[in-house]
Amino acid sequence: MPAQPPPERPGAGAEHDWWQTGVVYEIYPRSFADSNGDGIGDLAGITAHLDHLAGQPDSLGVDAVWLSPFYPSPDHDFGYDVADYLGVNPKYGSLADFERLVEGCHRRGMKVVIDLVLNHSSSEHPWFQASRTSRSDPYADWYIWRDSPGRSVTGRRRSPNNWRSWFGGSAWTWDEVRGQFYYHTFLPQQPDLNWRNPAVREALLNVVETWLDRGVDGFRMDVFNVFFKDAQLRSNPRRVGGRGAWSWQRHLHDRNQPELHDLLSQLRSIVDTRPGRMTVGELFDGMLADAAQLIAPRHLVFDFSLIGVPWSAAAFTRTLAARDAVFGTERWPANVLSNHDQPRHASRFAPPGDGAAGSTEGDARAKVAAVLLLTMRGTPFLYYGEEIALRNLSIPKAQAFDPPARRANFLFRWWNRDQARGPMPWRAGPGAGFSAGRPWLPLPSEAATRNVERQAADPDSVLNTYRRLLALRSATPALQVGSQHLVATSDADVLGYVRRAGDDAALVLLNFARRPASIALPKDGSREPWRAAFSTRDRAPGDMLGDEVALAPLEGLVATRA
């Protein structure tokens, strides 16, 4: 039976959808919780920990979970090489386990968003296996095949054009069975599907329909802007500079093609037939302006501009101003500081010498970052472990599972993504509550002291900072759906902005420095004083703020007029 839709949670009002008022929590299933002791996280493990996320007085208080791929896969790219779009990888459980997970989320008032990887499949998918057998097979045109245009002076087969793989080397691989090259934006084990073929389009849109029927509330669309390539497969113009071979081209013909807009309209119309459903797209190798043009009501696009910003109030002020200028007041951002492909921001923002175990200052910065993510305009996406300021693992290249990391060199620079995918530490002791067996990746070195159980018992922990912030956000319409206006501060180390929704307003001040700061509050004509609603430091809620406010070192402050 299809899962029932979840009950509506209190929010800013019925006119706003959950995707605008809520907070989404990304789970990397392989690393969240292992229920059977094989060292690999699974769906039953996630279900067993749903109370951590929502449904209980001491839950984190998120509104939705996003599951990274759990489909059958040979794991050349850990689930992003899909061998069956409608199944569940036995490593993670069964379809019945998925249904129980959806039911458990819905019962707690949480939505379920799943990853859809529709640009490419696994080379072991039956579609590709059929496609490579014959040029006249019914699946022959389901992938992008081309003849070699000839041989080089050294006798090697020349590729159809100069396109590069994101994971290094040519994007074309010769297949001896079919006697042609096939195209892959990523690994050779991830051949790109041919979206220009109507049969492919119908099959993949049927995948969307099927998961909607199974009760999911939304989709994260993997690298959706590369679904279409130039019909003539023209080579990309060369460019000078950049950090590797990928950037030595201007990628005009292998992404962002005009046909994408018609497909997105069709796909989104299918999602829109189901009340309360949404999508969020991963813009691959794109600019902020590209993201803005692809946003639509109920259909978001991740803004990755925040991921590259250093620990600097001035840098974040410039980034938010640039984003506001591009997005305007109508387009709704999808905000992220960390994810499964990027270094964890608790490590990225940490001071020198912070180390894997963290430091007092590192945790203080993580709390300020939490205030930023959960109060700026847009839908926040949290990555599992952020709520305890989990740091990156340290994994030598020789021990890497991440395929591109094993091949990294001077021409192909790559950050080992394993380091951001470590097991979730739930408690102290063997296995850290993650698994009774040997975890697929090593446990964080600080698991005995940095874990959910320990932080839950500490009122001043990063975890309880997130809990209080999420509760404040849920009760404050301005922080959910309000406009955003940057506030000029007299201190370059302080970022400030005001959120407004009708008569509701919230002031956010973030001191990025390890020294105190004094800030004159903005004048807006209101007779009501600002009162502290939340602080990462020792400031009592309800305290009235004067014309100037003294911020403690590394303090994140939210004030309201309630």
pLDDT tens-digit map of 92-122? 999 999 999 999 999 999 999 999 999 999 9
Give the Å distances, CA to CA, from 479 to 378, 410, 456, 482, 502: 9, 44, 25, 6, 12
Determine how β-strand 548-551 pairs with β-strand 517-520.
Answer: antiparallel
- How far apart CA 177 and CA 132 sit, in angstroms, is 6
8 A C-beta contact, residue 560 and residue 476: yes
Percentage of the chain surpassing pLDDT 70?
Answer: 96
Q: Output 25 or 357, whichever has higher pLDDT.
A: 25
Mean pLDDT of the chain: 94
- How far apart CA 7 and CA 111 sit, in angstroms, is 9
The residues annotated as belonging to the active site are 222, 282
Tell me: pLDDT of 16 over 80.
Answer: no
> In sequence order, what are the beta bridge partners of 334?
302, 379
Kindly indicate the confidence band of residue 5, based on its pLDDT and cuts at 50, 70 and 90.
very low
Tokens standing for 483?
């406009």
Of the candidates 368, 325, 407, the residue with the CA atom closest to the CA atom of residue 509: 368
pLDDT value of position 196: 98
Q: Output 202 or 529, whichever has higher pLDDT.
A: 202
pLDDT value of position 7: 41
- How far apart CA 555 and CA 408 sit, in angstroms, is 39
213-255 residue pLDDT tens: 999 999 999 999 999 999 999 999 999 876 678 889 999 999 9
Tell me: pLDDT of 15 over 60.
Answer: no
394-439 residue pLDDT tens: 998 889 999 888 877 766 777 899 999 999 999 999 999 999 999 9
Q: Which helix (H) or strand (E) holds 549?
A: strand 548-551
What is the mean predicted confidence (pLDDT) over 244-271? 94
Tell me: pLDDT of 44 over 90.
Answer: yes
The count of other CB atoms within 10 Å of the CB of residue 126 is 12
Tell me: pLDDT of 146 over 60.
Answer: yes
67-76 residue pLDDT tens: 999 999 999 9
Tell me: pLDDT of 356 over 70.
Answer: no
8 A C-beta contact, residue 350 and residue 391: yes
Tell me: pLDDT of 132 over 90.
Answer: yes
Tell me: pLDDT of 323 over 50.
Answer: yes
Give the Å distances, CA to CA, from 13 to 8, 64, 328, 484: 11, 18, 22, 18
Residue 161's Cβ-count burial label (10 Å; 0-12, 13-18, 19+) is: buried
456-510 residue pLDDT tens: 999 999 999 999 999 999 999 999 999 999 999 999 999 999 999 999 999 999 9
Percentage of the chain surpassing pLDDT 90?
Answer: 86
All domains of the chain in start order, with CATH: 18-121+198-470 (3.20.20.80), 482-560 (2.60.40.1180)
> For the chain, what's the residue count?
562
- Sign, Cα dihedral of 282, 19, 113, 375: positive
Alpha helix ranges (H) inside 376-461 = 403-406, 452-456
Residue 74's Cβ-count burial label (10 Å; 0-12, 13-18, 19+) is: middle
pLDDT value of position 413: 77
Q: pTM, whole model, 2 decimals?
A: 0.95
